[in-house]
Structures are given as structure tokens and as C-alpha cells.
Amino acid sequence: MFNIGDWIYDLFGPYGAWGILLCIFLIFLIDAIAFPTLPELFFVIGFMYNPTLEFGMQLLMVAIIAEIIGISTLYWIVEHIRVPVRIKNVAEKYVKFLIVSDERMLLVNRAAPMIPFAGAFISIIEDWRLSKAMMYIILGCILKYGLIMLMSNFFFTYFNSGDAQTYTILFVIAVIVISLIFAYIKKKRSGLANESC
């Protein structure tokens, strides 16, 4: 059976910590620019390579840098192409449909992923500003991946290595599932709130 953790270690592990950091950078960059990659899972697999707070902080910094570069790149691309008015209107309506319709939604997006391709949305939504959006993106990254790192460190401190890996993976899967459930509930509530207006 295919094991993604082993595959990552085989590909990047021979290069040590730098290889793992490069892997995390690329995963977060792809997630920010092109398509979802389940960065939470890769983050924790990277942490398992060297489950210390020091390495966890390095992973967190790499994740933040990759997100900034990825979102800024997508923002720049969308700023320099002609986006059809119809797409702008759909994006504006979608954001207004959400309970939080300003840049704070990018912070909520960490818990309830409802805005894909954040860089494109930042460019398209007229009221949104890149600097303010980046502040919420960075804060969300610190809160979410900081929590994952701290919980992973807890498991590796108080459990043997095999159990710690299992608990860490289960914790991250729980975070992903809870995020999806929260996103679903938030969409339903947003729909009801807008229907009553």
C-alpha cells in the first residue's frame, strides 16, 4: 500500500532537514497558487522528521513564507490579467453571501475553508486590501499550524514514538474533518442569514 510519509522521506529525507523544509515550502506554495494539497498533513509529517519545537518553528516560518509568496504570486497574476466582469460579480456575490465578508474571512478560512485561491479573491474583491489580507493570513497560519506543532510536540514528549505518530496523524485528520464540518455549517448559516434579509 502506498504510504505518502515514506514517499516524502524517500524523496526529501536524503537531504536532511533542508529537504524536509523544501518539501513543506513546495506543498504550501502549490496549495496557495494552484490546488489544495492538505498542507496540515504534510506539515505534521515534516514535523515527525525532527519532533522538536525548534524544528517546528522552522517549519512554521517556511509555511508562512510559502503562503506569502504563493498568495502574492496569484494576486499579481490576477491583477495583470483581464478578469471577466461576470467572474468578478460571482466572486463579489459569494463573499457577500458569507457572514464575514471582509478580509477577516481569511482568518476564518483557516478553521472553515470557504475561500479557495485567496490571492485571486484578494485581487478581485474591490474592498479588500492586500496588506490587511496578509495580516489575517499570517495570523491564521501561526494559530493553526502553531497549534498543530504544539499538539504534535506534546504527543512526542509524553508518548513513545510509534504512538506519538499515530496520535499526531489522528489529531491532524480530526482538524481537517472539523474544518470541513465547520465550513459546511457556516455555509448553511450564511445561506439562511441571507435568505432572511
How many domains are there within the chain?
1
| DSSP SS3 for 82 | coil
| DSSP SS3 for 37 | coil
For the segment 151-181, what is each residue's pLDDT rounded down to a tens digit?
988 988 888 878 888 888 888 888 888 877 8
CA-based Rg of the chain, rounded to a whole angstrom?
A: 18
For the segment 81-140, what is each residue's pLDDT rounded down to a tens digit?
999 999 999 999 888 888 788 999 999 888 888 888 999 999 999 999 999 999 999 999
Domain range spanning residue 74? 4-195
How many Cβ atoms are within 10 Å of 13's Cβ, its own excluded?
A: 15
Please tell me the predicted confidence (pLDDT) of residue 66: 97
Write the CA distances from 187 to 103, 108, 123, 194, integer angstroms. Answer: 17, 12, 22, 11
Indicate the angle between helix axes 39-49 and 16-33, nearest 10 degrees.
170
Query: Which grid cell sits at 153?
Result: 510536540
φ, ψ dihedrals at 102, nearest 5°: -105, -165
Cα–Cα distance, 124 to 117 (Å, whole number): 11
